[in-house]
């Protein structure tokens, strides 16, 4: 008879990280990555083709943007912001 954790995992109610074995977790992670890739690809096709690149050596920042979206890397403060 399967354990309670295994039964709960089969219906999607995972009580803790030990309920799924390594193979099941790897398969689930691959499905999530595939779905995220499709969603990201859909979004990227909506953005302008050429990226916008801006640097500020004094402030030690790098901004990469496409359309209304941008990634700001602040090397002085060691932060990254996605807008």
Burial label for 58, CB within 10 Å (0-12, 13-18, 19+), is exposed
pLDDT tens column, 17-44 = 555 566 777 777 787 777 777 777 777 7
- Whether 1 shows a pLDDT value over 50: the answer reads no
pLDDT tens column, 50-77 = 889 999 999 999 999 888 888 999 999 9
pLDDT-based confidence at residue 11 (cuts at 50, 70, 90): low
Question: Alpha-carbon distance 43 to 55, whole Å?
Answer: 25
What's the whole-model pTM score? 0.44
Question: Alpha-carbon distance 1 to 19, whole Å?
Answer: 15
What's the token pair of residue 79?
Answer: 């932060």
């Amino acid at each position: 008879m399967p354990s309670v954790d295994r039964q709960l995992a089969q219906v999607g109610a995972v009580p803790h990280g030990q309920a799924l074995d390594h193979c099941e977790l790897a398969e689930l992670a691959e499905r999530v990555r595939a779905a995220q890739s499709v969603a990201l690809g859909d979004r990227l096709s909506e953005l302008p083709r050429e990226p916008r690149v801006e640097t500020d050596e004094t402030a030690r920042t790098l901004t990469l943007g496409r359309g209304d979206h941008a990634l700001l890397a602040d090397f002085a403060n060691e932060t990254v912001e996605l807008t």
